[in-house]
Amino acid sequence: MAGRYDVIVLGAGAAGMMCAIRAGQRGRSVAVLDHAAAPGEKIRISGGGRCNFTNIHAGPKNFLSANPHFAKSALARFTPKDFLAMVENHGIAWHEKTLGQLFCDNSAKDIIRMLTDEMRAAGVELRLHTEIVAIDPIAGGGYRIATSDGALEATSLVIATGGKSIPKMGATGFAYRIAEQFGLPLVETRPGLVPLTLDPQLLQRLAPLAGIAAAAEIRHGKTAFREALLFTHRGLSGPAILQISSYWREGDEITVAIEPDIDIFITLKTARQANGRQSAQTALAEILPKRLAQHFAEGEGISGNMADQPDRRLQQLAAAVQAWPVKPSGSEGYRTAEVTLGGVDTACLDSKTLQVKTIPGLFFIGECVDVTGWLGGYNFQWAWASGHIAGEAA
Ligand code: FDA
């Protein structure tokens, strides 16, 4: 005789646990299955170990999806404040770091403990080390799940197994295979929030800059992010690059503006007036890290005293620093990507419940759905919100 539940959730990540809590609170019998040895492994490593668990400003504009309106309902029905109330109920200390990003003061493990405590209180059964072998609809309703631990049955089945990012941590792309099994459309998946790589020639020229960080605006078409830029041994990283990487496509160019709040031409002109005998490189090093100043001054072939540089040359130098076209050769891929773009096409899901419109009792939530947030706590907010509303309906 198979174990029988009202709701089975596949994946004990952020979305799956949230869904299980809500369904359990409603009096549903719930089991969460995961092949991993511990729940919430991505929560544990998130935000540098402190989990950027939400963003107080999260709204639909902070998400990428083929249907930009799809996330509205979930985000409105379970807000950052709702999650924060849960965090505070559990006495977890938190702080706002920057740009509305909320982090734990102590450890991401506090969030995992909160979720597992809530699951326990809601009577949810957590089954770890469980491989999913097959899923079959039962004639007349419900689902049979063959697992390494025997067969289970449920009226509602919630797929919350995440995306493809960081395969080393157990990411499998399993949800997409289940979607295909049920004939559901997928939006092509791509690594998102990922460092960008450069071709060997450019990389060689930029090698001396590895390790340098600077304030920057990175632009791709009409989209731009102002945050830190980091030069690495493989290419470009830092929050500004991770953000733009979700919009970038192979072959596209991005435009880098370093220290975008400073008018570099005016600053150089003023420096020339004040001290004509210093070099342009020295004047630029008042604004940029020294090695970066050297890179741009040498790159533009500008040497000698500032007094000898006409406006045109200073403008040229300013443009090199603030309108720098870069054509990345690729990205670091799923190995380091924080999220997976694309996924289960929202066209087949009900935005109020995350249930498949044409298949009663089957739900997809969290990262496996074609809703992807910016860097900064947005992806967890989507996981909590989509999990919560599915838990209300499953
Ligand atoms: P998630 O991946 O969390 O959970 C899926 C679960 O399903 C896992 O427990 C997995 O073991 C299980 N599973 C997968 N395949 C299975 C199978 N075949 N059988 C059984 N179980 C299976 N976001 C944010 O908002 N703030 C942040 O600070 C960070 N930081 C961060 C750092 C790093 C390094 C990464 C990689 C990602 C982040 N993120 C983030 C993104 C965030 O972690 C991500 O969006 C959510 O964890 C997605 O939640 P899900 O529950 O959808 O999937």
Residue nearest to atom 53 of ligand 1 (CA): 162
Residue 59, domain member (yes or no): yes
For the Cβ of 195 lying below 6 angstroms from any atom of ligand 1, the answer is no
CA–centroid distance, residue 7 to ligand 1 (Å): 21
Average pLDDT of the segment spanning 187-198: 98
Residue 102, domain member (yes or no): yes
Task: Answer yes or no: is pLDDT of 169 > 90.
Answer: no
CA–centroid distance, residue 143 to ligand 1 (Å): 24
For the Cβ of 174 lying below 6 angstroms from any atom of ligand 1, the answer is yes
> Do 167 and 223 sit in the same domain of this protein?
no
Residues 209-249: tens digit of each pLDDT: 999 999 999 999 999 999 999 999 999 999 999 999 999 99
Tokens 């003061």 belong to which residue? 105
Query: Measured between alpha carbons, how far is 142 from 145 in angstroms, rounded to an integer?
Result: 10
Residue 154, domain member (yes or no): yes
Residue 123: the pLDDT is 98
For the Cβ of 46 lying below 6 angstroms from any atom of ligand 1, the answer is yes
Query: Measured between alpha carbons, how far is 197 from 237 in angstroms, rounded to an integer?
Result: 9
The CATH number assigned to the domain holding 63 equals 3.50.50.60
Residue 268, domain member (yes or no): yes
What token pair was written down for 188? 């092509």
- Who contacts 230 (Cβ-Cβ below 8 Å, separation ≥6)? 211, 212, 213, 236, 237, 238, 241
For the Cβ of 394 lying below 6 angstroms from any atom of ligand 1, the answer is no
Query: Measured between alpha carbons, how far is 196 from 297 in angstroms, rounded to an integer?
Result: 24
Residue 336, domain member (yes or no): no
> Do 388 and 253 sit in the same domain of this protein?
no
Average pLDDT of the segment spanning 125-144: 97
Residue 272, domain member (yes or no): yes
For the Cβ of 116 lying below 6 angstroms from any atom of ligand 1, the answer is no
For the Cβ of 103 lying below 6 angstroms from any atom of ligand 1, the answer is no
CA–centroid distance, residue 210 to ligand 1 (Å): 29
> Do 30 and 120 sit in the same domain of this protein?
yes
Residues 273-306: tens digit of each pLDDT: 999 999 999 999 999 999 999 999 999 999 999 9
> Do 203 and 296 sit in the same domain of this protein?
yes
Query: Measured between alpha carbons, how far is 375 from 225 in angstroms, rounded to an integer?
Result: 11
- The total of structural domains in the chain comes to 2
Angstrom CA distances, 126 to 121, 210, 214, stand at 12, 44, 45
Last residue of one domain, picked from the residues 331, 358, 383: 331
Q: Which of 42, 63, 135, 371 to mutate to test the pocket of ligand 1 (most atoms within 8 A of CB)?
A: 42
Task: Answer yes or no: is pLDDT of 1 > 60.
Answer: no
| ipTM confidence score | 0.99
CA–centroid distance, residue 87 to ligand 1 (Å): 19
Identify the band that residue 179 occupies on the pLDDT scale cut at 50, 70 and 90: very high
> Do 180 and 212 sit in the same domain of this protein?
no
> Do 326 and 377 sit in the same domain of this protein?
no
Last residue of one domain, picked from the residues 331, 360, 377: 331
Task: Answer yes or no: is pLDDT of 390 > 90.
Answer: yes
> Do 42 and 173 sit in the same domain of this protein?
yes
> Do 72 and 9 sit in the same domain of this protein?
yes
State the alpha helices, DSSP H only, in 233-377. Answer: 239-245, 264-274, 280-284, 290-299, 311-322
> Do 263 and 181 sit in the same domain of this protein?
no
Query: Measured between alpha carbons, how far is 300 from 56 in angstroms, rounded to an integer?
Result: 43
> Do 182 and 206 sit in the same domain of this protein?
no
Query: Measured between alpha carbons, how far is 280 from 293 in angstroms, rounded to an integer?
Result: 9
> Do 202 and 172 sit in the same domain of this protein?
no
Q: Give the amino acid at 380.
A: F
Task: Answer yes or no: is pLDDT of 172 > 90.
Answer: no
Identify the band that residue 170 occupies on the pLDDT scale cut at 50, 70 and 90: confident
Residue 2: the pLDDT is 65
The CATH number assigned to the domain holding 278 equals 2.40.30.10
Question: What percentage of the chain exceeds 90 in pLDDT?
Answer: 98
Average pLDDT of the segment spanning 100-106: 98
For the Cβ of 343 lying below 6 angstroms from any atom of ligand 1, the answer is no
Which pTM was predicted? 0.97
For the Cβ of 383 lying below 6 angstroms from any atom of ligand 1, the answer is yes
Last residue of one domain, picked from the residues 331, 356, 375: 331
Average pLDDT of the segment spanning 89-115: 97
Range of the domain at 154: 3-190+341-393
> Do 129 and 51 sit in the same domain of this protein?
yes
Query: Measured between alpha carbons, how far is 330 from 89 in angstroms, rounded to an integer?
Result: 44
CA–centroid distance, residue 385 to ligand 1 (Å): 14
Per the CB < 8 A criterion, the answer to whether 194 and 331 are in contact is: yes
